């Protein structure tokens, strides 16, 4: 699925600054510079953080697919009010705590198959760059020092609010910065904070202290990418005040400062309310991946357009997990079929490649067109794994069924070559989407089954026992009991499949149990409470 140089102009992305889709054109032809705001490392990251990471990992992968050389920077905030507060609660050194959670985040990103960025800078490793930028802003008369604190003069930024549409009087420092009567303007924000007793601090021209939240990204992006770079990304909640303040202070430090495209991913919601640690309605990545394969979570994210809000439900994760299982089972079956008929992949004379089946060729062409059109349209991945992609999987299964039938040698070769080309195309799509595991297909399938058993609260032995129970019932022609066993397992997300005289199981979306009739007056046999979809992933 190669892209020619001329095709790059087709890639359009939504620019939050202009509030419209624009054709992507980097500053330097063939090269892309991209900075994405990372996490504040004071706890395990939640799935809202995961969605941002997956969204920009997809952008990173697609830009590379288009042939660009990409420098991707994603930072860690490893010193901050929240980090200090959490460390005090746990009786831990703030720097030790943040370092630990930076590493935990990296573990989560590896599980989600997010490629490592080119650089993952930490604030505490860039104090000199931060202090130099603050000094330059003061020198340009855009900041002032008060009792060891340094504040940015928002009045010096005539275009303040152009990204967010917010007016100066609407500026809220938020929980990171308290209202301070020493400010010249209530909207002024901290570039440097004077040290408080017991807090980590660094020497500076204004006395010991630490950076404000906003300055760190301006300093690190300028250090790694210069003041002019192509893409700045982050969650939609960062548009104001964080990114708005970044623009103001970066321009104050260097008038040539300019980001061409501002990109923002939508929230993950729970019961249609923004998921966040401050609201206490979040699930950590680790909580989800204990019960679902990490690629099922990634599949869930990719199933929606990155800019749209995404409502978390257990039902959607179950559907993503089932879709992933079907996908990998198809690939496993294809691998087995090709291994069996490997000698038929080429003609015996001259090594000529057999002709591809016309239906398979059409599927490949449709998949390429659909995939490129959707990703080139601002990474619109909603329904990208349906339509032409599902048709390609169905075509693979149809071809595998044809291989099982008696055919002429040349017909077999055509089917085999068609499977080879289809598998190659499907794998490339999955690779760009970050859904192609480096593990063998069989291992991924086994991992998905293990997670399904965990969610069902069953063991492999217990499922085997139920299968044997059903087998005996069928031998005894007790079909009512046989059907009951099958149905009861589907309530737990276990589907039984009969192949000849053997029975196998696979994960499926749990079928809701039917509600019992209203309980009798004596209160016995009360109907069970039906589990809602909008529930904790740790619920049974």
Do 332 and 251 reside in the same domain of the chain? no
DSSP characters for 113-176?
TPPPPSB--BGGG-HHHHHHHHHHHHHTTSEEEETTEEEE-GGG-TTTTTTT---GGG----TT
The answer to whether residue 301 sits within a structural domain is no
Domain identity same for 130 and 265: yes
Residues 99 and 244 occupy one common structural domain? yes
Domain annotation covers residue 194: no
The helix/strand/coil state of 28 is strand
SS3 track for 442-463: HHHHHHHHHHHHHHHCCCHHHH
- Fill in the DSSP letter of residue 529: P
**For residue 259, how many other CB atoms are within 10 A of its CB?**
25
Residues 467, 430 within the same domain: no
Supply the range of the domain harboring residue 466. Answer: 457-507
In this structure, the answer to whether residues 220 and 323 fall within a common structural domain is: no
pTM for this entry: 0.90
CA separation (Å) from 162 to 16, 97, 157, 243, 308?
A: 10, 37, 10, 11, 22
Of the candidates 390, 389, 399, the residue with the CA atom closest to the CA atom of residue 357: 399
DSSP string across 242-275: IIHHHHHHHHHH-TT-EEEEEEEEPPEEETTEE-
> Beta 189-194 vs 149-152: how paired, if at all?
antiparallel
Q: CA angle at residue 325 from 373 to 304, to 5 degrees?
A: 35
Specify whether 125 is located in the same domain as 33. Answer: yes
Q: What is the dihedral of CA 296, 302, 307, 308, to 10 degrees?
A: -60
Cα separation, 299 vs 97, in Å, equals: 31
Continuous segment of H or E residues that includes residue 33: strand 31-36
Domain boundary among 440, 475, 498: 440
How many Å separate Cα 138 from the centre of its chain? 39
Same domain, 382 and 461: no
Residues 327, 436, single domain; the answer is yes
Task: Say whether both 100 and 222 belong to one domain.
Answer: yes
C-beta neighbour count of 299 within 10 angstroms: 25
Length of the chain: 540
The tens place of each residue's pLDDT in the chain, 540 residues long, gives 554 343 444 899 999 999 999 999 999 999 999 999 999 999 999 999 999 999 999 999 999 999 999 999 999 999 999 999 999 999 999 999 999 999 999 999 999 999 999 999 999 999 999 999 999 999 999 999 999 999 999 999 999 999 999 876 655 444 444 567 899 999 999 999 999 999 999 999 999 999 999 999 999 999 999 999 999 999 999 999 999 999 999 999 999 999 999 999 999 988 777 777 777 788 999 999 999 999 999 999 999 999 999 999 999 999 999 999 999 999 999 999 999 887 544 444 445 667 899 999 999 999 999 999 999 999 999 999 999 999 999 999 999 999 888 666 668 889 999 999 999 999 999 999 999 999 999 999 999 999 999 999 999 999 999 999 999 999 999 999 999 999 999 999 999 999 988 999 999 999 999 887 544 444 333 333 333 333 333 332
Report the candidate in 80, 65, 71 with the shortest Cα–Cα distance to residue 35: 71
**Does 34 map to a domain?**
yes
Residue 333 near residue 410 (C-beta atoms within 8 A): no
Same structural domain for residues 115 and 244? yes
Q: Looking at the structure, do residues 385 and 433 belong to the same domain, yes or no?
A: yes
CB atoms within 10 A of CB 349: 6
Establish if 191 belongs to a structural domain: no
- The tally of domains found in the chain comes to 3
Domain boundary among 272, 290, 308: 290
Q: Is residue 398 part of a domain?
A: yes
Q: Which of 255, 290, 325 is the last residue of a domain?
A: 290
User: From CA 377, how far away is CA 1, in angstroms rounded?
Assistant: 17
How distant, in Å, are the alpha carbons of 58, 241, 391, 394, 432 from that of 360? 27, 51, 10, 10, 21
Extended strands (E) in 174-243: 189-194, 209-211, 228-235
Bridge partner list, 77: 40
101 in any annotated domain: yes
Which 8-state DSSP code applies to residue 379? T
- Same domain as 468, residue 347: no
CATH number of the structural domain spanning residue 122: 3.40.50.620
> 396 in a domain, yes or no?
yes
Query: Which one, of 264, 251, 222, lies nearest residue 51 by Cα?
Result: 264
Rounded to whole angstroms, how far apart are CA atoms 197 and 84?
A: 12
Tell me if 390 sits within 8 A of 370, measured CB to CB: no
CA dihedral 79, 81, 85, 87 (to 10 degrees): 0
CA 144 – CA 255 distance, rounded (Å): 19
Whether residue 23 is contained in a domain is answered as yes
Distance CA 388, CA 217 (A): 41
């Amino acid at each position: 699925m190669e892209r020619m140089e001329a095709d790059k102009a087709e890639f359009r992305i939504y620019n939050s600054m202009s509030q419209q889709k624009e054709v992507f054109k980097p500053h330097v032809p063939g090269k892309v510079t991209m900075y994405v705001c990372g996490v504040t490392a004071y706890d395990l990251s939640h799935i809202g953080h995961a969605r941002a990471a997956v969204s920009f990992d997809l952008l990173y992968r697609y830009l590379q697919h288009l042939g660009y050389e990409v420098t991707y920077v994603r930072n860690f905030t490893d010193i901050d009010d929240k980090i200090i507060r959490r460390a005090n609660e746990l009786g831990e050194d703030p720097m030790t705590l943040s370092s630990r959670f930076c590493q935990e985040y990296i573990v989560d990103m590896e599980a989600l198959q997010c490629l490592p960025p080119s650089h993952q800078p930490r604030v505490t490793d860039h104090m000199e760059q931060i202090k130099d930028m603050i000094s330059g802003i003061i020198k340009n008369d855009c900041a002032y020092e008060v009792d060891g604190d340094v504040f940015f003069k928002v009045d010096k930024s005539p275009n303040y609010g152009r990204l967010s549409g917010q007016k100066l009087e609407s500026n809220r420092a938020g929980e990171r910065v308290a209202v301070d009567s020493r400010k010249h303007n209530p909207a002024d924000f901290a570039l440097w904070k004077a040290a408080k007793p017991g807090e980590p601090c660094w020497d500076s021209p204004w006395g010991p202290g630490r950076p404000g939240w906003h300055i760190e990204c301006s300093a690190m992006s300028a250090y790694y990418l210069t003041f002019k770079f192509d893409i700045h990304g982050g969650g939609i909640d960062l548009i104001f005040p964080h990114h708005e303040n970044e623009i103001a202070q970066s321009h104050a430090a260097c008038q040539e400062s300019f980001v061409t495209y501002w990109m923002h991913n939508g929230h993950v919601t729970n019961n249609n309310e923004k998921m966040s640690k401050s609201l206490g309605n979040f699930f950590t990545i680790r909580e989800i991946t204990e019960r679902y394969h990490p690629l099922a979570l990634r599949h869930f994210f990719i199933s929606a357009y990155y800019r749209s809000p995404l409502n978390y439900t257990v039902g959607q994760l179950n559907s993503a997990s089932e879709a992933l299982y079907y996908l990998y089972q198809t690939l496993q079956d294809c691998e087995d079929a090709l291994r069996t008929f490997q000698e038929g992949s080429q003609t015996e004379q001259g090594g000529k490649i057999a002709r591809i089946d016309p239906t398979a060729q059409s599927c490949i062409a449709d998949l390429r067109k659909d995939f490129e059109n959707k990703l080139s349209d601002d990474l619109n991945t909603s329904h990208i794994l349906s339509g032409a992609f599902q048709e390609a999987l169905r075509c693979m299964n149809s071809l595998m069924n044809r291989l099982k039938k008696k055919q002429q040698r040349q017909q077999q070769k055509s089917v085999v070559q068609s499977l080879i080309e289809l598998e190659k195309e499907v794998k490339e799509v999955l690779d760009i989407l970050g859904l192609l595991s480096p593990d063998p297909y069989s291992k991924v399938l086994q991992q998905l089954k293990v997670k399904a058993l965990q969610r069902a609260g069953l063991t492999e032995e217990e499922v085997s026992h139920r299968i044997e129970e059903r087998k005996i019932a069928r031998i005894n022609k007790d079909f009512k009991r046989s059907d009951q066993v099958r149905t009861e397992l589907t309530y737990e997300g276990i589907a039984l499949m009969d192949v000849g005289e053997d029975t196998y199981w696979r994960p499926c979306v749990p079928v809701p149990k039917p509600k019992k009739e209203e309980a009798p007056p004596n209160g016995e046999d009360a109907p069970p409470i039906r589990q809602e979809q909008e529930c904790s992933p740790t619920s049974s």
